[in-house]
Structure 1
Amino acid sequence: MYKHVVGALLLAGLGLTPATQAQTKAAAAKHTFALGDENFLLDGKPFQMISGELHYPRIPREAWRHRMKMAKAMGLNTIGTYVFWNVHEPEQGKYDFSGNNDIAAFVKIAQEEGLWVVLRPSPYVCAEWEFGGYPYWLQKDKNLVVRSKDPKYLAAYGRYLKAVAQQLAPLQVNHGGPVLMVQVENEYGFYASDKDYLALNRQMFVDAGFDGLLYTCDPGEKVKEGHLPGLLPAVNGWDDPRKVKQLVRTYHEGKGPYYIAEWYPAWFDWWGTPHHTVPASKYTPRLDSVLRAGISINMYMFHGGTTRGFMNGANYKGPGTRYEPQTSSYDYDAPLDEAGNATPKFMAFRGAIEKYLPAGTKLPAVPAAKPTMRTPVITLSSATNLLSVLPKPVVSAAPQTFEDLNQDYGFVLYRTTLAGGRTGTLQLKDLRDYAVVLVNGQRVATLDRRLEQDQTEITLPKGTVTLDILVENLGRLNFGPFLNQNRKGITEQVSFAGTEVKNWQHFRLPFNDISKVGKAPAGKAAAANGPVLRRGSFTVATPADTYFDMSQWGKGCVWLNGHHLGRYWEVGPQQTLYVPAEWLKKGANEVVVLEMLKPQQDKLVGLEKPILDVVKADGEARRTN
């Protein structure tokens, strides 16, 4: 009997009504969404959210609708998404809600596809995303403290939240949109327990225009610290129905309803460690038990996609632990793979969900896997020595951080001159995060924060020597107690042979528009072992998904037709970069590669399948799964 009760509650949310016209009319109508003692109430009737997380910046805009159709096909009636501050306000006061950042369009497409939405603007999102979603410019003020009652932080946060509300408040369910709930802060109990700060957050959301249902979410063991009395406490990471219900009742006046805001069917990857996978057989019974208990759930992730450009985050838990920058692939071993195709986990979860639908109801057919292609070998014959196309420098006595230079992501090349004819230790105190050291244009060393490297012995030839240090921001921390210590570059001083090195030129290389990075002047060949920009093109008759195989390259980034596909690094586990068909053109396609370690490498190929599970140690590859 209970199966059919739960099934009846799901029917409206799945949009499985017989008439498309009726669906459209219902979608445009205003609804109510409220908390009952045991259930969420949609228009006064019990409603169970079966939700999956997917993030609009990690999916090409052209593919948003496809991913939502896949969500429907698995049986989801709701999707969840964070809203990313650093995407929408990349520079202070300059907002961007266009193109792939058009969050309102994303939400409207969900409504058109018959899906409800749970919105998470926080503004801290974690999400394995650069600085946890915070814009880099907050770090320009060394005294500003994020996730606090610091007036400067709250003022910036408040302005941003109002800009977001202008886009999304009209799309709340009580205004005719699909947004059922809006999350205040994000796993705050992991960070602190200041209830006054949380109350300020709630009031800021209300003042901005979010006048619907608000809630908090925290891992089960941190709900006490992170919940705010008066708001529903959602639970992350737990899936024992009895424990979830008991916990929510403890902090919600003895009542429900019950929502698992983040349920993890797998995990993310970081560079140099094995690819994470979890078999569907481990989690399908748990999903079944949650649904049978009538608990609402959000899978993190339903579809991970790809963290494009330089937007990956990193973890660091303190002394004695390693800095862990995340890979560009955010496949997550999710039910829907990085390219948006159904996996065995998708089919297993679909089977569990289908059991709780009303008798006779059928889910939409699962769309076939998208076509993929193998490309011919692509030769990148044009090579430009990066040192030959540097912009105008910024000069100062001491090395400046990225933030001092008003630079968000990418690279900074630090240059000075030294008296040669000496051997000594070069130390970059508190390097963040990866450095290529060059003497007279030739690479002599690399330093890697992951490996706690900040010094190396080098020998300088006789005469006046040019010392270049190319520093890469591998991703600001997105989690933990050190969010306010997130400045990048050479953050303290440089010394050689025990003496501080001064008088620096700084060349800013954000690579935010690869078309503006010039080619080398005629006669300027690429350095034998210095960083190089390689360019080439290939022809496509019919665009289809492919995966650039970077396993023979060293370390760098790839652009396709101006789109920044992400980072590659021979250490793995990710060895390919996903190339969506939506970004390919019929005819000629341009590829640009920034290669830091193997400048002579000039060939790549597109594969039909990704390689996400090969870790390399000392140049030797080994599969991790």
Structure 2
Amino acid sequence: MSAAIISFHRPMRRLLPLLLAGGLGLSATPAPTPAHTFTLGAEQFLLDGKPFQMISGELHYPRIPREAWRQRLKMAKAMGLNTVGTYVFWNAHEPQPGQYDFTGNNDVAAFVKMAQEEGLWVVLRPSPYVCAEWEFGGYPYWLQNIAGLKVRSQEPQYVAAYRRYLQAVAKQLAPLQVNHGGPILMVQVENEYGSYGSDKAYLASNKKLFEEVGFDGLLYTCDPVRDVAAGHLPGLLPAVNGTDKPSQIRKLVQANHGGKGPYYVAEWYPAWFDWWGTKHHTVPARNYTPGLDSVLRAGMSINMYMFHGGTTRGFMNGANYKGDSSHYEPQISSYDYDAPLDEAGNATPKFLAFREVIAKYRPAGQPLPAVPAAKPSVALPALQFTQNSSLLDRLPAPVASATPLTFEALKQAYGFVLYRATVTGGGTQKLKISDLRDYAVVMVNGKRVGTLDRRLRQDALEVALPAGPVQLDILVENLGRVNFGEYLLQNNKGITKSVSLGGTEVKSWKMFGLPFDQAPTLAKTSGRALTATSAPTIRSIAFNVDKPVDTYLDLRTWGKGVVWVNGHNLGRYWAIGPQQTLYVPAEWLKKGQNTIAVLELLKPEQTKLPFLDHAILNDLQPGVATTTND
């Protein structure tokens, strides 16, 4: 019962039966949002029976601080978008089997509702596979622990896990479809499946699952130009990715959709993503405005991927790998993407250029909102660390095994595992790791003696061993599971086969799991004055902020590691570049005391951490921190 009814005076209480019965037209609950229809016309989408052109931009709720969602959505409106698109990320929502998380930054329903509040429609992409330069393409790591399970197939164990997950997603999002009064116009079935396979029965089973769990509105598929025929399911709208040529779009859609439209470019790329050790990808807006104009002039709908990339925080970046003849390419933490909206949510020249094009196609009498001013950013005073703790001094209880265990066998999704064995020393011997995934810091008696990097196909180094028993430590980092292609099912992490020393296999291992799913802390009693060490170290410091404001950590003089601010994992840094800064959102700082924790793998002597008022995303330092022998 509403507070308004409870507070009625005594004479009014005589009217309560009439009120509650609807006699005076009052209700204790708000009226539901009116439902709409969204259907396919021969040439255009029809919203409530009238032509509707989607001008959409992709942005991902986990890549944006929840406190900043609304600001990013307002920026979408200011550029002229009427729709936003987002994936739904299985590994974010079911990190362990049956443990679902739709809270905080994972509250996708709140994100969708907020878009509606801001006057935006939504295209939802809840396919269990997302790609998205995201760890394992969105799949949870634990699927690999189920013997025989095969993702993107009709294998029964996969379908069962998929169904349970989709049911959980539908509870959150099915009521928010447009035909139920929500903003979700369309729901995507699978994701660029034609680039992976062509099993129409598998696609049909996907469609059936979506319908069974409650997605009863308009469903569609999307595929790159060359893969539309393979990835399309007859009866669903085939969206096209990676083109802005109206004649090509029309031909592809009609060929797979009974000679009809409407026409939707589900992924139109204004630039590209980055990976470690390669230059930052940028493309001038002028290269794209003619294509955008041509699509909109043709009355077609479009979704730019990305409108705003944000940041792939924590350990959730993916990687590319195409086989033994190719390099493993882990993606950086910044997902700036050279998008119209930069990593911090500010308008770029590309934003303004695209806005100018979109303005030409606005309905009469609907001018664009003003562009909000850029958020301020500052360079805070540099921090000087005075205490540290060696990673080797704060290990958890180990798991013992004759041979090394993978992350998956240890039921650990991300982060690091320290592998330890006692070997017989004396002389210099060749250490070889079979199928290292992905980066290793090798230590002898607690001293770093080298690193191995899967990107560079490094798997061996010569190590000098003192006489007698020697403690061999190998700290292995998961740099991100492959998110695209045929190697999705070969994504185990850690030491995935064996270790040999001088040609003899090393046995009797202890594994120390270091997932760092929480920020590391230095207790007052354990933190100590900085001491000389070559092993990875953890540093922590408190600092004051007068007013929370965007800033950037300048890590150009550091080596490789991870940073947390007030418990939030900001992502990875690596001196090789191209990313040299980590974005610190104002929303995650507090007035007064704040804390920063750093895990540094390669430069434990580094003590000064400066700030900048801008990002550095295109500074390569070839050869830095990549040598096999220190």
1:167 Cα deviation (Å)?
A: 0.1
Aligned residue in 2 for 1:492: 497
Post-superposition, which runs of at least 4 consecutive aligned residues in structure 1 deviate over 2 A? 25-28, 358-361, 515-527
1:514 Cα deviation (Å)?
A: 1.6
Aligned residue in 2 for 1:268: 273
> Alignment partner of 1:238: what SS?
coil
Rounded Cα–Cα distance in structure 1 between residues aligned with 2:493 and 2:148: 16
Selected match of 1:578 from 583, 607, 610: 583
Letter in 1 for 2:108: I
Selected match of 2:142 from 137, 141, 155: 137
Is 2:436 the counterpart of 1:431? Answer: yes
CA gap 1:619/1:131 in 2 versus in 1, 3 angstroms: closer
Aligned residue in 1 for 2:559: 554
The answer to whether the Cα contact below 8 Å between 1:27 and 1:178 also exists between their aligned partners in 2 is no
CA gap 1:140/1:549 in 2 versus in 1, 3 angstroms: same
Selected match of 1:89 from 94, 97, 101: 94
Rounded Cα–Cα distance in structure 2 between residues aligned with 1:520 and 1:465: 29
CA gap 1:178/1:619 in 2 versus in 1, 3 angstroms: same
1:94-121 residue CA offsets vs partner (Å, 9 max, x unmatched)? 0000000000000000000000000000
1:459 Cα deviation (Å)?
A: 1.1
Please say which of residues 25-34 and 262-271 is displaced more in the overlay. 25-34
Is 2:415 the counterpart of 1:417? Answer: no
Is 2:254 the counterpart of 1:249? Answer: yes
Is 2:404 the counterpart of 1:403? Answer: no
Please say which of residues 468-477 and 512-521 is displaced more in the overlay. 512-521
> Alignment partner of 2:208: what SS?
helix
Is 2:451 the counterpart of 1:446? Answer: yes
- Unaligned 5+ residue runs, structure 1? 1-24, 621-625
Rounded Cα–Cα distance in structure 1 between residues aligned with 2:93 and 2:610: 34
Is 2:226 the counterpart of 1:221? Answer: yes
Selected match of 2:395 from 379, 390, 399: 390
Output aligned runs, 1:290-329, within 5 Å.
290-329=295-334
Q: Which has the larger radius of gyration?
A: 2
Aligned residue in 1 for 2:70: 65
Q: TM-score, normalised by structure 1?
A: 0.94
Output aligned runs, 1:373-384, within 5 Å.
373-384=378-389
1:588 Cα deviation (Å)?
A: 1.2
The answer to whether the Cα contact below 8 Å between 1:145 and 1:484 also exists between their aligned partners in 2 is yes
Rounded Cα–Cα distance in structure 1 between residues aligned with 2:458 and 2:348: 40
Is 2:481 the counterpart of 1:476? Answer: yes
1:358 Cα deviation (Å)?
A: 3.0
Output aligned runs, 1:48-127, within 5 Å.
48-127=53-132
Number of corresponding residues: 597
Rounded Cα–Cα distance in structure 2 between residues aligned with 1:517 and 1:297: 49
CA gap 1:504/1:525 in 2 versus in 1, 3 angstroms: farther
Rounded Cα–Cα distance in structure 1 between residues aligned with 2:256 and 2:170: 28
CA gap 1:520/1:433 in 2 versus in 1, 3 angstroms: farther
Rounded Cα–Cα distance in structure 2 between residues aligned with 1:89 and 1:477: 19
Letter in 2 for 1:572: G
Aligned residue in 1 for 2:615: 610
Letter in 1 for 2:607: D
The answer to whether the Cα contact below 8 Å between 2:478 and 2:494 also exists between their aligned partners in 1 is yes
Letter in 1 for 2:581: T
The answer to whether the Cα contact below 8 Å between 1:379 and 1:537 also exists between their aligned partners in 2 is no
The answer to whether the Cα contact below 8 Å between 1:384 and 1:520 also exists between their aligned partners in 2 is no
The answer to whether the Cα contact below 8 Å between 1:62 and 1:582 also exists between their aligned partners in 2 is yes
Rounded Cα–Cα distance in structure 2 between residues aligned with 1:178 and 1:327: 32
Is 2:339 the counterpart of 1:334? Answer: yes
1:538 Cα deviation (Å)?
A: 1.6
Rounded Cα–Cα distance in structure 1 between residues aligned with 2:94 and 2:418: 26
> Alignment partner of 2:295: what SS?
helix
Rounded Cα–Cα distance in structure 2 between residues aligned with 1:97 and 1:360: 39
Aligned residue in 1 for 2:18: none
Give me the CA root mean square deviation. Answer: 1.5
The answer to whether the Cα contact below 8 Å between 2:387 and 2:527 also exists between their aligned partners in 1 is no
Aligned residue in 2 for 1:22: none
Letter in 2 for 1:131: F
Selected match of 2:573 from 568, 577, 601: 568
CA gap 1:338/1:210 in 2 versus in 1, 3 angstroms: same
1:281 Cα deviation (Å)?
A: 0.3
> Alignment partner of 2:316: what SS?
coil
Letter in 2 for 1:587: G
Rounded Cα–Cα distance in structure 2 between residues aligned with 1:36 and 1:398: 61
Aligned residue in 2 for 1:128: 133
Is 2:146 the counterpart of 1:169? Answer: no
Letter in 2 for 1:143: G
1:519 Cα deviation (Å)?
A: 7.1
The answer to whether the Cα contact below 8 Å between 1:526 and 1:599 also exists between their aligned partners in 2 is no
The answer to whether the Cα contact below 8 Å between 2:387 and 2:529 also exists between their aligned partners in 1 is no
Is 2:37 the counterpart of 1:32? Answer: yes
Rounded Cα–Cα distance in structure 1 between residues aligned with 2:183 and 2:528: 59
1:354-377 residue CA offsets vs partner (Å, 9 max, x unmatched)? 011134431110000001011111
> Alignment partner of 2:288: what SS?
helix
Rounded Cα–Cα distance in structure 2 between residues aligned with 1:200 and 1:331: 35
Output aligned runs, 1:479-558, within 5 Å.
479-515=484-520, 521=526, 526=531, 528-558=533-563
Is 2:201 the counterpart of 1:196? Answer: yes
Rounded Cα–Cα distance in structure 1 between residues aligned with 2:455 and 2:525: 33
Identical columns (%): 69
Letter in 2 for 1:543: P
The answer to whether the Cα contact below 8 Å between 1:51 and 1:297 also exists between their aligned partners in 2 is yes
Rounded Cα–Cα distance in structure 1 between residues aligned with 2:431 and 2:403: 15
CA gap 1:319/1:415 in 2 versus in 1, 3 angstroms: same
Rounded Cα–Cα distance in structure 1 between residues aligned with 2:113 and 2:624: 48
Rounded Cα–Cα distance in structure 2 between residues aligned with 1:188 and 1:85: 17
> Alignment partner of 1:155: what SS?
helix
Rounded Cα–Cα distance in structure 1 between residues aligned with 2:591 and 2:414: 31
CA gap 1:406/1:69 in 2 versus in 1, 3 angstroms: same
- Unaligned 5+ residue runs, structure 2? 1-29, 626-630
Is 2:164 the counterpart of 1:159? Answer: yes
Please say which of residues 106-115 and 141-150 is displaced more in the overlay. 141-150
Letter in 2 for 1:47: F
The answer to whether the Cα contact below 8 Å between 2:538 and 2:598 also exists between their aligned partners in 1 is yes
